[in-house]
Amino acid sequence: MLILLFFKNLFSSDSMTSEILKEIRKVIASKIPENVEITKVEFEGPELVVYTKNPEIVAEDGGLIRTLAKELKKRIIVRSDASALLDPEKTIEKIKEIVPEEAKITNIYFDDVTGEVIVEARKPGLVIGKHGSTSKSIIKHTGWVPKILRTPPIPSKIVEKIRKLLRRESKKRRQILRNLGCRIHRQPKYENDWARITALGGFREVGRSCLYLQTPNSKILLDCGVNVAANDEKNAYPYLNIPEFILDEIEAVVISHAHLDHSGFVPYLYHYGYRGPVYCSAPTRDLMALLQLDHIDIAEREGRELPFNAKDVNKCLKHTITLEYGEVTDITPDIRLTLHNAGHILGSAILHLHIGDGQHNLVYTGDFKYEKTRLLEPAVTDFPRLETLVMESTYGGKEDIQPSREMAEKRLIKVIYDTIKRGGKVLIPVFAVGRAQELMVVLDEYIKSGILEEIPIFVDGMVWEATAIHTTRPEYLSKTLSDQIFHYGYNPFTSEIFNKVSSSDERKDVVEGEPCVILSTSGMLAGGNSVEYFKWLCEDEKNTLVFVGYQAEGSLGRRLQKNRRDITFEENGKMKVYKVKMQIETIEGFSGHSDRKQLMKYVHNLSPKPEKILVCHGNAYKSLDLASSIYKKYRIETRAPLNLEAVRIY
């Protein structure tokens, strides 16, 4: 009985949804003024879409939607009924008339499916206007609801690609969202009397992060990463082959941030038939697609077969729903998700999940930095409620104390200064996303302030592309940076000191040119252009190699740190030995992870205090050390589960 009933009716909720919509229509009818005609109400993913023949009245009365949203406890989008829409050509004219020229509109196009006009502009704030006045004016005069996108100051191929894809697939996407809406807003079937987390990857290890959250009503994944450093499939991918993981029943995937160890296995889910949503921040979506495609690309070039391909990345994009920090969103009938800034990389989020009707509040930190950096604000510590915390422990060991940012920056500048002075070049191998941009801001700052002389800084391929994405989403950057960009019109990433390098010829010019700084992937000299630069530069003692990130055991970076100085590469079928004479420096303190002190301080500052803390994303020793230290200091129950273990959270 129990078993047979268990899966029945889980999604046969169409009639139930229409019942719910009927109720909602009643509420709307009772709340809106008589002169507003509603033509349609439907779910679109987590949101409720209201179509009206009088968008201008609704736009004018801002309180109306707020009241409805509060009353219905749903996020509401207002769209215009087809009959209220002005002819597209006239609309374009009208928009150009309404929006000031300084907004620098670069593109206007229409989405017939949603009745939205998409306006791409260099200064989207000016298209919105003060308190949305310009935007409202567009609605009033054209009927079209504007969706305003920033034209990145640095052109980004991936952003362009994603926008095109979503434009092309608008109709399909709306259908996806409508079906999803029915699923999300169904009535929960079972009493919410338990919830548990199964560790599918990234516990007592770093890599392939994957948490499986189950309640009697919902099954969702938090992160789904790969361990790119693993030698075999078994250790590279999360344990999705266990019996409780039923792909068809996964209702949502939430991605904390774009790094591959948190997002790299998502395409696999789509490859094997997952068609549910991925929730993440907008920067995470774009950066994730960039990194996933690069991962597939590298594997192809290296002749390794991955269990997914580039098409799956597109499928994923089609199903991704982006959320802003602080936006409370229903993702299943009994789970509400809110993203909060994690301070780790652009768009990185701490996930807050409210389960049931007040039953439980789970926070998963993902990777987080509890310190203000050049790039980002520190991770959020305040939550409306919190019972269970799952936190990372990359630097969870007692000894994992890092120098201050200031110290790290000074050291970096000194190393660069010395190298340039003696006529050398500085090679900094970096991951594409995160530290690279942090360093760019640092370099720009020190050059701007005159401490460092103006030297060319070369930013290679992937790093450049990731940086472009940063320029699309300045609102996610630290207050200092976004103030600079919005109020003073100064964007460090577009500074002239940075030069994009994207071909072999250009690279050759760089190494043969004047003293400079080079930022290039991969960060551990494990393939990628950083290795090419290394070969060119390593035999000249004037040059310097600077490591600013973790070098994994076995990587070339690590070997160099261990003072190996004869390095052999295979070139055109022959072995060639390089005698490394360049200076090699390791500078700690630029990490996007909280160090031990910051981890402890984070727990200390959490509000409210959680009842239970699960530790993940650290090797066994660090996870256990952090777990026991937190318990000893704060008397909070802690645990460092093993992969494949399930922990009841209530």
Gap between the terminal Cα atoms of the chain: 25
Residue with smaller CB distance to its own copies, 11 or 578: 11
Q: Measured from the CB of residue 363, what is the shortest distance to its own copies in angstroms? A: 20
Angle at CA 140, nearest 5°, toward 134 and 142? 100
Does position 300 bind its own copies by CB under 8 A?
no
Helix (H, G, I), strand (E, B) or coil at 518: strand
Phi, psi values for residue 255, rounded to 5° = -110, 125
Q: Measured from the CB of residue 246, what is the shortest distance to its own copies in angstroms? A: 6
Does position 304 bind its own copies by CB under 8 A?
no
Beta bridge partners, 42, equal: 49
Contact residue for its own copies among 112, 244, 300, 541 (CB under 8 A): 244
Q: Measured from the CB of residue 630, what is the shortest distance to its own copies in angstroms? A: 18
d(CA 346, CA 363): 19
Residue with smaller CB distance to its own copies, 532 or 645: 645
d(CA 232, CA 459): 32
DSSP per-residue string spanning 73-138:
TSEEEEEE-GGGPPPHHHHHHHHHHHS-GGG-EEEEEEETTTTEEEEEES-HHHHH-GGGHHHHHH
Q: Measured from the CB of residue 7, what is the shortest distance to its own copies in angstroms? A: 9
Residue with smaller CB distance to its own copies, 193 or 514: 193
- φ/ψ region of 293 (left if φ > 0, alpha if ψ in -120 to 50, else beta) reads alpha
Burial 370-403 (b: 16+ CB within 10 A, else e): bbebbbbbbbbbebeebbbbbbbbbbbbeebebe
Structure tokens at 149: 């996108």
Burial 603-616 (b: 16+ CB within 10 A, else e): beebeeebebbbbb
Residue with smaller CB distance to its own copies, 100 or 307: 307
Contact residue for its own copies among 114, 135, 209, 214 (CB under 8 A): 214
Does position 647 bind its own copies by CB under 8 A?
yes
Which segments are annotated as binding site for Zn(2+)? 257, 259, 261-262, 344, 367, 617
The answer to whether residues 319 and 348 touch, using CB atoms and an 8 Å cutoff, is: no
Q: Measured from the CB of residue 219, what is the shortest distance to its own copies in angstroms? A: 7
Does position 648 bind its own copies by CB under 8 A?
yes
Residue with smaller CB distance to its own copies, 82 or 642: 642
Does position 196 bind its own copies by CB under 8 A?
yes
Does position 194 bind its own copies by CB under 8 A?
yes
Does position 575 bind its own copies by CB under 8 A?
no
- φ/ψ region of 379 (left if φ > 0, alpha if ψ in -120 to 50, else beta) reads beta
- Cα 223 to chain centroid distance, Å, stands at 11
Q: Measured from the CB of residue 228, what is the shortest distance to its own copies in angstroms? A: 17
User: How many residues line the site for its own copies (CB under 8 A)?
Assistant: 33
Residue with smaller CB distance to its own copies, 315 or 411: 315
The region of 24-32, 309-317, 464-472, 638-646 touching its own copies under the rule CB under 8 A is: 638-646
The region of 2-10, 222-230, 500-508, 587-595 touching its own copies under the rule CB under 8 A is: 2-10
Phi, psi values for residue 591, rounded to 5° = -60, 145
The region of 62-70, 241-249, 554-562, 581-589 touching its own copies under the rule CB under 8 A is: 241-249
Q: Measured from the CB of residue 3, what is the shortest distance to its own copies in angstroms? A: 6
The answer to whether residues 445 and 551 touch, using CB atoms and an 8 Å cutoff, is: no
Helix (H, G, I), strand (E, B) or coil at 494: helix
Does position 1 bind its own copies by CB under 8 A?
yes
Contact residue for its own copies among 29, 82, 242, 407 (CB under 8 A): 242
Helix (H, G, I), strand (E, B) or coil at 3: helix
Where along the sequence are the contacts to its own copies (CB under 8 A)? 1-6, 193-194, 196, 198, 214, 219, 233-234, 237, 240-247, 249, 272, 307, 642-648
